[in-house]
Amino acid sequence: MRLVKLLANLGYGSRKEMQQAIRHGWVTDRQGNRLKADAKTAHEEILFDDEPLDPAQGVVLLLNKPTGYTCSTKDQGRLVYDLLPDRFRMRKPALSTVGRLDKETSGALLFTDDGTFLHKVISPKSEVPKVYEATLDRPLRGDEAALFASGEMMLESEEKPLKPAELEVLDETRARLILHEGRYHQARRMFAATGNHVTELKRIRIGALGLDGLDEGAWKALSEDEKALIFQG
């Protein structure tokens, strides 16, 4: 792909702006040689304004989402995209979230521009386990784990029972919940169905991929090994 198009697709600016950037010598290789518009330099060798380029197409990002941010590109209020560099919104193909977390849920959220990868993670067939830690308003009753694991639990206004989910009690009002599907507000609705209320919810793992010291509000691009962890759960 020509350099101008590559840079424009990564969101650095319009094609016209990228032609100017090349003319001004802002695009170089790691040795500081100015690149021309028809350069065939490898992506990882290219610097823009002395900084390595953003990840190429096919990227997967992991964000440690704080509460108070919405998984949308255009809702009012704070959006998860506000936590990424501005130019990421201009990328082509676009970066989408892989599934969603509620505004008041925190933790592991993936973004990608790779439709095949996105489908593989969210497809019910892949059954990628998602691990949540929930803090509850009231003490657990004691029968939640059996109900959640039954494969017969019905949520209000749904026609199919939930797939079996695992519950690990951490203390009286805290539990770890492992879901193998992603229905609307699923964790909150499951606890609500037992007469409880989730006051805090955090996704701590997707498959075997955890947040591993990633600060709240911080993100990173995943390596191939980290991507593979998602499917080992």
Q: Catalytic amino acids?
A: 102
Contact between 187 and ligand URA per CB under 6 A: yes
CB of 184 to ligand URA, least distance (A): 8
Closer Cβ to ligand URA, 119 or 185, answer by number: 185
Closer Cβ to ligand URA, 108 or 222, answer by number: 108
Closer Cβ to ligand URA, 112 or 186, answer by number: 186
Contact pattern from residue 72 through residue 111 relative to ligand URA, giving x for each residue in contact according to CB under 6 A and a dash for the rest: -----------------------------xx--x------
Terminal alpha carbon distance of the chain: 37
Contact between 185 and ligand URA per CB under 6 A: yes
Contact between 70 and ligand URA per CB under 6 A: no
Name the amino acid, one letter, at 40: K
Contact between 186 and ligand URA per CB under 6 A: yes
Name the amino acid, one letter, at 10: L
Contact between 181 and ligand URA per CB under 6 A: no
CB of 32 to ligand URA, least distance (A): 46
* Cβ atoms within 10 Å, residue 13: 17
Instruction: Pick the piece of the chain touching ligand URA (CB under 6 A) from 6-14, 18-26, 157-165, 181-189.
Output: 181-189
CB of 90 to ligand URA, least distance (A): 27
Helices and strands in the chain: count of H runs, count of E runs: 6, 12
SS (H, E, C) 173-209: CEEEEEECCCCCCHHHHHHHCCCCCEEEEEEEEECCE
Q: For residue 180, what are its two tokens?
A: 């193998």
> Which residues 105-124 are close enough to bind ligand URA by CB under 6 A?
105
* Dihedrals phi, psi of 224, to nearest 5 degrees: -60, -40
CB of 56 to ligand URA, least distance (A): 30
Asked whether 43 and 3 are in contact (CB, 8 A), the reply is no
Asked whether 31 and 44 are in contact (CB, 8 A), the reply is no
Contact between 230 and ligand URA per CB under 6 A: no
Burial of 84 (0-12, 13-18, 19+ CB in 10 A): middle
Residues contacting ligand URA: total by CB under 6 A: 8
* Dihedrals phi, psi of 102, to nearest 5 degrees: -60, 160
Q: For residue 230, what are its two tokens?
A: 């998602």
CB of 9 to ligand URA, least distance (A): 31
**Interface residue list for ligand URA (CB under 6 A):** 101-102, 105, 185-188, 201
